[in-house]
Amino acid sequence: MPAGQPKKFESAEMLLELWGEFCAEIVSGDYSIAPTYTEFSKWLSAGSLGADRRTIYNSLNKYFPDIKNAVEVTRADVVAQGTMLGKYQPSMSIFALKNWCGWTDKLETQNENVNRNYDMSTLTDEQIDKILAEDESDES
């Protein structure tokens, strides 16, 4: 851990649990606020644990990066559900999901197919079987 102030969150589990409680309150509060780090810091400050946006950012990116995806999945769920229920503006929700949670309009795939040119007339049945078996094992 870098030198400086002690961590506000004792563990990744603590931060994740607090984020989950915060998001649950958004849902039970009829989506009156959005799941932003600014609102999360206000929520934390209203309780006994004051933490600004920078502290939250540092905690997720420096100290506990292994939970960042779980935080973003929860955030995406709240935004998507709130939008489907008509609580959030759809165009702003799309913008938020793309920028906060890494959503995209279309699935981007990378073609990993390898073209192999074989002169089938020169291959034995055993060689063909071996090539097919290798192709099948590459797909799994």
Query: Can you give the pLDDT at residue 119?
Result: 72
Q: Does 115 fall in a domain?
A: no
Q: Does 89 fall in a domain?
A: yes
Q: Could you tell me which of 86, 96, 15 has the C-alpha nearest to residue 57? A: 15
Q: Is the pLDDT of residue 46 over 60?
A: yes
pLDDT band at 42; cut points 50, 70, 90: very high
Q: Does 52 fall in a domain?
A: yes
What's the mean pLDDT in 28-33? 97
What's the mean pLDDT in 103-118? 71
Q: Does 3 fall in a domain?
A: no
State the residue range of the domain holding 22. 12-101
Q: Does 40 fall in a domain?
A: yes
Q: Is the pLDDT of residue 1 over 50?
A: no
When divided into structural domains, the chain yields a total of 1
